[in-house]
Amino acid sequence: MCEGAQDLTDAASCSGRLVGVALAASRLSEESYVEAAREFNAATAENEMKWGSNEPSPGRFNFAAGDVIADFARDNGMELKGHALVWHNQLPGWVSSLDSAEAVRAAMLDHIRGVMEHYRGRVRAWDVVNEAWNDDGSALRDSVFYRHLGAGYIDEAFIAAREADPEAKLYYNDFDGEDLSMKSNAIYEMVRGMLDRGVPIDGVGLQMHVRIPDDEPAIAELTQNMQRIADLGLDVVVSELDVRHCNGETAEQQAARYHDVVATCLGQPRCPEITVWGITDRYSWLNAAGAPGCPDGETPHPLLWDNDYQKKPAYDAFMAALLGP
């Protein structure tokens, strides 16, 4: 099977890893999109399981959009990642405007229980807390959760998550914490402290929205960072991989970057999952105004399929890395 691998499906089963993709429910009516999605053996809802989507008003859960992703994953034999329970972004207004610790705590714990109980038995791993650190990792982000509950909200969220679905793996997920930096140190110390306190946590997600130059993260630093997290007994996963391809850079450079990131995960036994953040360049979040695209405003075409669903050199490199040296 490994030698004759034709597509990502074959390569993923050879690698023994979860090879995932972020899916948008609204695109599942497109034949080419679905065909590409079926090459993966794991799925994450790009937006449909976020708080703004599934609890738009207090206690009134709406799982319709998230269930579209969950059903697609089930019907296609894909493992499902839950993303994300507690995040400062894509929060409904009613949560952002809560003004007491009691109200924020009740809302957060009820949300975790309500969502996790709905998906119990279907979600392999949840991003329980997402992006709690500020951009450079100098402090915890000033979210409604931190403002009212202090740093302890993170422990509280994970404890509630374990109770709500004892079988699901519980991950902390963040961006720009891939190399050895103030931010990755902060994340490392945070999860180490959680383990010391007996807080249930199973892994760390490195989002990996990266660019081509081999400095953020440098592969040597990514390898070291993954290893120190693994040495704590935690999983370390690549949770939202995309590689911006900007002016003057080549498709081969993008392909090499994909290859090296995937190979680094493959070299780490505690890295069970690599998820790419979308299928086609056409629908990447990086095309939106205000996203960290390319310096000159050029479209970053960061994914494995181009705008017309043609497989790019990045696809071949991704697959080659899964098949190993």
Catalytic positions, written as ranges: 131, 240
CB of 148 to ligand G3I, least distance (A): 22
**Should residue 275 be labelled a site residue for ligand G3I when binding is judged by CB under 6 A?**
no
Query: Can you point out the beta strands (E) in 29-92?
Result: 42-45, 79-86
Strands 235-244 and 273-276, by their bridges, are parallel
Interface pattern 168-187 for ligand G3I (x via CB under 6 A): -------x------------
CB of 175 to ligand G3I, least distance (A): 6
**Should residue 143 be labelled a site residue for ligand G3I when binding is judged by CB under 6 A?**
no
* Distance from chain centroid for Cα 177: 13
Judged by beta carbon, residue 26 or residue 223, the one nearer ligand G3I is 26
**Should residue 285 be labelled a site residue for ligand G3I when binding is judged by CB under 6 A?**
yes
Measured from each CB, the residue nearest to ligand G3I is 285
**Should residue 47 be labelled a site residue for ligand G3I when binding is judged by CB under 6 A?**
yes
Interface pattern 222-261 for ligand G3I (x via CB under 6 A): ------------------x---------------------
Q: List the interface residues with ligand G3I, window 83-112 (CB under 6 A).
A: 89-90
CB of 278 to ligand G3I, least distance (A): 7
Judged by beta carbon, residue 18 or residue 208, the one nearer ligand G3I is 208
**Should residue 33 be labelled a site residue for ligand G3I when binding is judged by CB under 6 A?**
no
**In this structure, what are the phi and psi dihedrals at residue 215, rounded to the nearest 5 degrees?**
-130, -20
Judged by beta carbon, residue 82 or residue 272, the one nearer ligand G3I is 82
Rounded to an integer, what distance in angstroms lies between the CA atom of residue 43 and that of residue 321? Answer: 20
Which residues, in sequence order, are CB contacts of 307 under 8 Å at separation 6+? 280, 281, 282, 301
Judged by beta carbon, residue 79 or residue 240, the one nearer ligand G3I is 240
The two tokens of residue 65 are 């959009």
Judged by beta carbon, residue 46 or residue 235, the one nearer ligand G3I is 46
H or E, element range at 143: none
Which residues, in sequence order, are CB contacts of 257 under 8 Å at separation 6+? 210, 212, 214, 243
H or E, element range at 29: none
Residue with tokens 């998906």: 119
Burial 90-119 (b: 16+ CB within 10 A, else e): ebbeebeebeeeebbbebbbebbebbbebb
Question: What's the DSSP call for residue 294?
Answer: -
Which residues sit at the interface with ligand G3I, rule CB under 6 A?
46-47, 89-90, 130, 175, 207, 240, 285
